[in-house]
Amino acid sequence: MNIVDAFRIKQGRPVSLRRIDTDATPGVKNKAAALKSVQHNIERLAELQYTLYAENRRSVLIVLQAMDAAGKDGVVRHVLAGLNPQGCRVTPFKVPAGEERGHDFLWRVHKQVPAHGEIGVFNRSHYEDVLVVRVHNLAPEPVWKARYDHINAFEKMLVDSGTTICKFFLHVGRKEQLERLEARLDDPSRNWKVTEADFVERGYWKDYVKAYEDVLTRCSTPWAPWYVIPADHKWYRNYAISEILRRTLESMDLRLPKPSVDIAALKKKYE
C-alpha cells in the first residue's frame, strides 16, 4: 500500500470525516513492525535533514492540526526528536496578542516559515483562523470564508519559493479523546496540560468536524496536500506520519553541494 496516496486528500473532493476510521491501521502488520519502521524512518529523516541543511536551497514545512489530545506534541516528541535542532524549529500558534492583532492573519505566520535548509513545524497554524475563529464566531462569515483562498495563495507562494509543505490532520475519535483527557487528570506528570477549556470545546465537536471538513476539502492542493491520519493508536499515528515524511523528503532528490575547494590539492598540501 502506498501510504502517501492512502491518506492524501485529493483536491476538490468533498471530505466526510465520519467515513474515515480513526481506529484504522492499514499498511502495517502489527505494532512491533510499526515501531521498527518508525525507528528506521527517524534515522533516515536525520540523514535527509542533514542533506537539506547542506544543500541550503529548499525548506520543508510540516503543519500539525487536530482536536485537543490527538497527539500533536507526541508527533513532535516521537517522530521529529531525531532532527538536529540547528536546522529545525517548532512554532506553536496561540491566540493572537499584542502586535499580532494589528496585522492581517498571515503576518505572524509568514515570519515563522522555515528558511532555506530548515525544517519548520507548526503546532497549530494559520488554519486556526478558519477553525476556532469560525466555530466561535470571532470574525464575520465573509471574512473567514475569504481566507481559504488567501491560504491557498500563501502556500503556493511558499512552494514557488522552494518550500515543500506537508499538512497533517490527526484524526482522533471523540471517545478516545475523552479517555485521553481523563487520563491526564489522573497523571501528575501531565495534568498541568489540562484546562477546563479542553472539556468545554468538546461541546463544539460537530462544529469543529464541519470546519475541518471544509478546510480539508478546500485547502488540500497539489502544491500543499492535506493528509488525514488515523490517530486513535499513537504508535500508528507516528508510523504513518514518519513514513509520509520520509517518502516526501526522499522524493525531493536532495543533493549535497559540491566542495568549494579542490579537495585533492588540499589533501596533498596538508598530508
Assigned domain for 104 exists: yes
Residue 194 pLDDT: 83
Residue 190 pLDDT: 85
Residue 38 pLDDT: 97
By the 8 A CB rule, do 147 and 130 touch?
yes
Assigned domain for 109 exists: yes
Assigned domain for 190 exists: no
Contacts 24+ apart (CB under 8 A), 104-110: 105/129, 105/147, 105/150, 106/150, 106/151, 106/154, 109/154, 110/154
Structure confidence by residue, pLDDT tens digits, 13-56: 899 999 999 999 999 989 999 999 999 999 999 999 999 999 99
Residue 113 pLDDT: 98
Assigned domain for 16 exists: yes
Considering the entire predicted model, what is its pTM?
Answer: 0.96
Assigned domain for 192 exists: no
CA distance 119 to 4: 19
Tally of domains in the chain:
1
* Ordered per-residue pLDDT tens for the chain, 271 residues: 688 999 999 998 899 999 999 999 999 989 999 999 999 999 999 999 999 999 999 999 999 999 999 999 999 999 998 999 999 999 999 999 999 999 999 999 999 999 999 999 999 999 999 999 999 999 999 999 999 999 999 999 999 999 999 999 999 999 999 999 999 998 888 888 888 888 999 999 999 999 999 999 999 999 999 999 999 999 999 999 999 999 999 999 999 999 989 888 889 888 7
Residue with cell 491520519: 229
Assigned domain for 264 exists: no
User: Which of 215, 184, 187 lies closest to 199 in space, CA to CA?
Assistant: 184
Assigned domain for 186 exists: no
91 burial via Cβ count (<10 Å: 0-12, 13-18, 19+): middle
> Tell me, what CATH number does 88's domain have?
3.40.50.300
Name the residue range of residue 44's domain.
3-170+214-256
Assigned domain for 149 exists: yes
DSSP string over the chain: --HHHHHBPPTT----GGGS-TT--TT-S-HHHHHHHHHHHHHHHHHHHHHHHHH-S-EEEEEEEESTTSSHHHHHHHTSTTS-GGGEEEEE--S--GGGGGS-TTHHHHTTSPPTT-EEEEES-GGGGGTHHHHTT-S-HHHHHHHHHHHHHHHHHHHHTTEEEEEEEEE--HHHHHHHHHHHHT-TTTGGG--HHHHHGGGGHHHHHHHHHHHHHHH--SSS-EEEEE-SSHHHHHHHHHHHHHHHHHHTT--PPPPSS-HHHHHHHH-
Structure confidence by residue, pLDDT tens digits, 162-177: 999 999 999 999 999 9
